[in-house]
Structure formats: structure tokens, C-alpha cells
Structure 1
Amino acid sequence: MEPNFESLCNEAISLIRQTGNFIREERANHPLTIETKGKNDFVTHIDKGSEERLVKGLKTLLPESGFIAEEATSTEKGERFNWVIDPIDGTTNFIHGLSPFAISVALMDAQEVVIGIVYEMGLDEMFFAWKGSKAYLNGKEISVSSRPTVADSLIATGFPYTQYHRMGDFMKTLDHFMRKSHGLRRLGSAATDLAYVACGRFEGFYEYNLNPWDVAAGAFIVQQAGGKNADFTGGNNYIFGKEIISANPLIFDEFLRDIKLFMEEK
């Protein structure tokens, strides 16, 4: 029997709100236990605890589902459905008490995302969409902006902490967009950056060295809000391909062309 994606999305939102409350309470009442996974790549006991709650709750909602989860609290894979989870996207921000940081949850039906939810906890903003729906922020419909050129745009990016062989090319993009656009912003949470493209706060976002749990939910919300996503070649491998550009459709071709000038693998 085909799941009702709208109902499933609403049930997942309720679980994510409860998990957000758990994160706030833990942060307020207990000292953080911080582990280092790699250079500038951290995990706290709250990341792990919140992911365990999400995995348990989402498994109850869709028993046949598996998981692609950042902290690998479940490595079970579903034959058809898999939840893609980042319990706290923006952990470094979270450690330092700085917003934004977000819970990011997507549901994939084989290779297609059918639900996307990004809960930015600092502003208590729940972005969501399901297959066939519009995109929403706290229940109100949202859409990407209508600014027509990169020169009219505010652009978001993220600073990579591996793959430094691409850093020279990436620095050229920073110089380019500083000169060409309204400005660049680096918030420290890719899921939030994508949600902000979806609601028109940013016109475009690009970053490399990302994982599926960073982008699956946010990119889907952008899509349902009328935006476009691609990898740096213009292809569709942006969920698992470790690089993404996302933009409103009016600037998309120009934005992609600018990024391809510098960031295509030589």
C-alpha cells in the first residue's frame, strides 16, 4: 500500500518538534560531551541522542524504512524507503551557542526524495514539503525569490574542511561573487541555507564536500518552492555527489555558468 506522504510528513514534523525540545533541554541543562570525528568535524552526545530518537520514531511511522544517518545510529537499509537524517546540521554553531542549526530529515523512495523537513531551531522555523505539495514555512506557503540576475542576488556558501585541493578554485568563486552579487553569506548550516533559498532569503547557494544528510531535505524543499538544483556540472548528482548549487530559476543558468568557470573538476 502506497504511503500517504502528506500524513507521513505531518507525523514526522511532530516527532522533529519533540526532538528539537529534547535538544534545547539537553543543551540548557547538561554540559556538552564533544568528540572529534575529523578536522573541524565534531559530534556531541546530543547529536547522537537526538538521532536515536529520530530513528526510533521514524521507524515506527514507516516500519519498512531504513536509514542514511550522519551518526550511523542505524545502518539498516530499506529496500524502497530510506530516511536521510542529520540530527543537528551546524554542530559547530551548536557547540558555540550560535544559530543557525537545524534538524534535517528527508524520505527517499528509491532515488527520489518524497518528503523534506528542515527545522531551524534558533528561529523555531519548520520548512517542509512532500511529493506533489507546495513548500511551506510554519504552515504558510513559500516560494523562491524572483530576482532576475546574480547582480541582484544574495548568495550563500559554506567553507569546506576537507578536499583542500579544490580550495584555490573555491576562493576564486568567493572573489567573483563578492564583486558580482549583493554579497556572500556563510551561515554554517547547509540545510538552513537551502531552506533560505526556498523561502527567498537567498537567491542561490553552492557548496562542495557535502553529504546526503546535509542536502536531501533542503534541496527537495527548494524544488517544491519553484527552485532548481544541480551538481557543479549541471547534472542531477547533487544528493550523493558531494556538491550542489541551488537557485531560483531566473538566475540558475547564469549562476551555474559562473560556478562552472571555476569549480568543474579539471
Structure 2
Amino acid sequence: MDHPLAPPIDFPLEEVKRRIKSVQSVSGIFIESALKLQKDLKTFSFSTETEEKDQIHKADEMMGKFIVEYLRQNFPSDSILSEDNYKHEGNNSFRWVLDPIDGSMNFVRGIPLYCVAIGLEHRESPVAGVVFVPGLNTKYSAILSQGAFKNGLRIDVSNTESLARAMLVPSFPTNRKEILNEVISDITAFISCGRSMRRTGSFVLDTCWVAEGLLDGIWEKGVKLWDTTASSVILAEAGGKLTDFSGKHFFPETQK
């Protein structure tokens, strides 16, 4: 296939493998920590939207801190960017991009459809990703040119080619009310030609499900770097593509 994330000639494959293997080696600890944190949060009663948002922010920070501490200890020269507003500037060409809890609303309500996404960049390009789905005891991983895997088994996108037979994932950017009418118009258009729609509440999980062929496509507006760094490599290595709405390769940092 025409690989949108093809590695350069000087791609440091062994260094990337070493980093991803290290993260995978402690996957059980990450998963256990997420499950415990979710269980603890279920004891809270949210009487207001503000209280719920506060707990979401707290959960992101706590999970993010745990991952960051591991990365800082084991790869002190690497940069780190996390969705929970953490940033560390290293002194080499590697950067970890994290979404400690993607699907945080599901997380605080006890719904198992959420992810821990750990992506790796080399020279500002995504090169590897690991996604943990603690509530489903599932792990996705991929390294450029090495394939995509779910719990150690190779995965591929579906062979569905027709929209009439496709199961799609629609965009619901609830934090962007200004484009609500545009989103409704998009959904109406896809419903008229598509077969069915599903949504988990986690962009990363939706993308991984496309990568393993459970779903056929996803469209989303307003995604960020931490949403796509890990998942884009998994999708590409499974045979999929991540594009903007004109069909060009998608770069989150330049998308509006």
C-alpha cells in the first residue's frame, strides 16, 4: 500500500522497539492503575457538571503523572507532551505524546470504553503507538513497517469498499457548539448513504476498532495530537489511512 507514514532511511528501528517494548512490559501496571482509579471514582456522586469535570481532570492528571514518571525515569532524554497540560523538553529526537484517559466521560461513569494512549514521535513524525483498553483487557500496538497488533495478534482493516455497506463512526464534538449544525448535516449525509453508525465515546478506541476491521471508517472534527499519535500508526500499519476532509494526509497540529 501507499504508506502515509513510511519510515525514512535513517529510521532508528531498534531504538523505537526498545522504547515500545519497555512500555509494553509494564502494561499490566498501567491497566491495573486505570481500573483502580476508575473504581475509586465510582464512589463519587456528581451533583453538578462542574463536579464531574473536576473529577475528569483529576483522573487525567493522576493517570498522566503515573505514565510520565515511568517515562522520565526510563527515558530521561526524551521529550513528553501530555493531554493533561504536562510538557517536558528533552534533548534528543524522540517525543512521547500521551492521552492518559481518552473517553474520560465514560471513565468517570464506570463505562469500560476508554483508552490509555501512548504515542512516540521521532523528529516530529509518529513512529509507534501503544493503546491500552483496561476495561476490555485489550492492548493495541504498532511500529512503522512492523505491522499492527491486538493482544499480540496481527490486525487489518476491513475490506468494505462501499459506503452502502460500511459501518461508520460519526463526529460528536460536544465542546464545539459553533459547528453543531455542520456536524448534524454531515451525519444526515452519511446516514443517507451508509449502512449503520456506532460510537464508543473514545476517538482512540474508535480508530483502533477501524484498524482491526470491526468498523469501516470514522470522521471527527477538532482532534488533537494526543488523539492521533498512537492511533494513526496503528491504523496505518493495519492498512488504513488518516486524512483530512480533502483526502490529504492528516496533520493534527495544522488542522482547524
Q: TM-score range by the shorter chain?
A: 0.7 to 0.9
Judged with a 3 Å threshold, the aligned counterparts in structure 2 of structure 1 residues 41 and 193 are, in CA distance, closer, same or farther, namely farther
Partner Cα distance (2:79, 2:85) in 1:
11
Structure 1 window deviating more from structure 2 (141-150 vs 110-119): it is 110-119
Q: Which residue does the alignment assign to 1:240? A: 253
Contact 1:100 1:187 in 2 (8 A): yes
Equivalent AA in structure 2 for residue 13 of structure 1 = Q
Deviation at 1:40? 6.8
Partner Cα distance (2:124, 2:111) in 1:
34
Q: Does 1:203 align with 2:203?
A: no
Q: Which residue does the alignment assign to 1:19? A: 30
Judged with a 3 Å threshold, the aligned counterparts in structure 2 of structure 1 residues 225 and 238 are, in CA distance, closer, same or farther, namely same
Partner Cα distance (2:169, 2:102) in 1:
16
Partner Cα distance (1:25, 1:42) in 2:
14
- Structure (1/2) with the larger strand percentage: 1
Give 1:83-94 correspondences, 5 Å limit. Answer: 83-94=96-107
Residue of 145, 150, 167 corresponding to 1:154: 167
Give 1:1-266 correspondences, 5 Å limit. Answer: 2=12, 3-29=14-40, 31=43, 43-76=56-89, 79-242=92-255
1:160-198, Cα deviation, whole Å (9 max, x unpaired):
123333222211111122221121112110000110010
Judged with a 3 Å threshold, the aligned counterparts in structure 2 of structure 1 residues 51 and 78 are, in CA distance, closer, same or farther, namely farther
Equivalent AA in structure 1 for residue 143 of structure 2 = W
Secondary structure of 1:233's partner?
Answer: coil
Contact 2:99 2:226 in 1 (8 A): yes
Equivalent AA in structure 1 for residue 25 of structure 2 = S
1:214-260, Cα deviation, whole Å (9 max, x unpaired):
121111100001111111222233332447xxxxxxxxxxxxxxxxx
1:105-159, Cα deviation, whole Å (9 max, x unpaired):
1000122111111111221110100122110000000000001111111001231
* Stretches of structure 1 lacking an aligned partner (at least 5 in a row): 244-266
Runs of 4 or more consecutive aligned structure 1 residues displaced over 6 Å after TM superposition: 33-37, 39-42
Contact 1:127 1:221 in 2 (8 A): yes
Contact 2:116 2:132 in 1 (8 A): yes
Q: Which residue does the alignment assign to 2:6? A: none
Partner Cα distance (1:90, 1:183) in 2:
22
Superposition RMSD in Å: 2.7
Deviation at 1:16? 3.6
**Number of equivalenced pairs:** 243
Partner Cα distance (2:93, 2:72) in 1:
14
Question: Percent of aligned pairs with the same residue?
Answer: 24
Partner Cα distance (2:64, 2:44) in 1:
16
